[in-house]
Structure 1
Amino acid sequence: MSTGKIQFAEQDGTFALKFVGEVRLTLCSALDATIEKIFGAGNFSSIIIDLTEASNIDSTTLGLLAKLSILSRQKIGLLPTLVTTNPDITRLLESMGFERVFNMVGTPVPCPECLRDLPAQDLSEALVKTKVLEAHRILMGLNEHNREAFRDLVSALERH
């Protein structure tokens, strides 16, 4: 299994995230902390998520991306831009209903040399479970398909 990474940059209130390789649960705590940082910034004006080099994105990561979109609409009234050129990733995003909560485009992020890797974070098992549960609840809220797809997982997490 190839490892993934998430890179981050900010300039004049525009925030950029770039997902590379297989982006999975292990990167979600750093992603969630970065989402909090973005929306805590006083100069936030837009966000771009570049998925052109992502080979796989798990459901927890997708839930955090949905959270990012919801917060963007609440804070500044704009949908984030999501860049995807991989047909498999695009199909996955569309199956989750992301075309309704993101501006989806096929042009990569300018200034890739400006991006830096997000730092790894160690979280307790309980905190990881909380993050996974939150991400999947957000995904379930996007559409009926997601509600059906993740109902059993969310129920299982809530029981334990």
Structure 2
Amino acid sequence: MEDRFLYSEADDTIFIKIEGNATMKNSKTLSDLLAKIFKGEKKNLVFEMSACNYLDSTFLGLIAKCALEIKKTWNSTLYIMNASNMVLSGLKQTGIDKFVEKIEDSSLQLKTSELENQDFSDRKEKTLHILEMHKTLMELNEKNKETFQNVVNMIEKDLNK
């Protein structure tokens, strides 16, 4: 299965279907879209994840950032739809599950368009993005602070070279 994001908008809800592996390699695509979404009118935001095979910590950080931003900007909730056990496990292990609402709906049929993959302009932009996502995870709870502190230290050391 190809790694990609499919986009659909219906009434006041934006659906983003995440297919394949959701990693630092493709997180900029979604990060850029979310930045545009948060500049607009209040929307319900749903990540449909039935076809998501894998999430890395950078992408989990992006989900956390999105959930926190929705709360702050619109006093709303990020919805995670049809998540597999693997996705649910990642959300639970990082504490993100406390900041999102999980829903199930296998009957939903959407007309979607594929988001064009966006790449980082350079290594520094990519490194700063990864750093931000891991710091976001660390802000969620003490366990994440312990888990990701070494990663953040390593990234910051790399940036200061």
- Please report the TM-score for the alignment, with normalisation by the length of structure 1: 0.91
Structure 1: distance between partners of 2:105 and 2:140: 25
Instruction: Quote the residue 2:26 is aligned against.
Output: 27
1:146 is aligned to 144
Aligned counterparts of 1:154 and 1:109: Cα–Cα separation in 2: 41
Give yes or no for contact 1:47–1:80 (8 Å, CA) kept in 2. yes
Q: What does the per-residue CA deviation read over 1:107-132, in whole Å, with 9 as the maximum and x for residues that have no partner? A: 248233x2222111232111000110
Quote the offset at 1:96 in angstroms.
1.0
Structure 1: runs of 5 or more not aligned: none
Deviation, 1:22, is 1.1
8 Å CA contact retained: 2:29, 2:119: no
Shift of 1:40: 1.1
Q: 2:94 corresponds to which residue?
A: 96
| Corresponding residue number in structure 1 for 2:5 | 6
Deviations 1:23-53, CA, capped at 9 Å, x for gaps = 11111111110110110112x2210111111
- Which letter does structure 2 place at the counterpart of 1:122? D
Give the structure 1 partner of residue 129 of structure 2: 131
**Match of residue 122, structure 1, among 119, 123, 126:** 119
Equivalent residue pairs, number = 157
Q: Report the TM-score when normalising by structure 2.
A: 0.90
- In structure 2, the partner of 1:46 is 44
Whether the 8 Å contact between 2:5 and 2:19 is mirrored in structure 1 is yes
Corresponding residue number in structure 2 for 1:107 = 105
Partner of 1:17: 16
Aligned-pair identity (%): 22
Alignment root-mean-square deviation, CA: 1.5
Does the aligned pair in 2 maintain the 1:15–1:38 contact within 8 Å?
Answer: no
Question: How far 1:104 moved relative to its partner?
Answer: 1.2
- Asked if the contact 2:65–2:136 (Cα under 8 Å) also holds between the matched residues in 1, the reply is yes
Determine helix, strand or coil for the equivalent of 1:52. coil
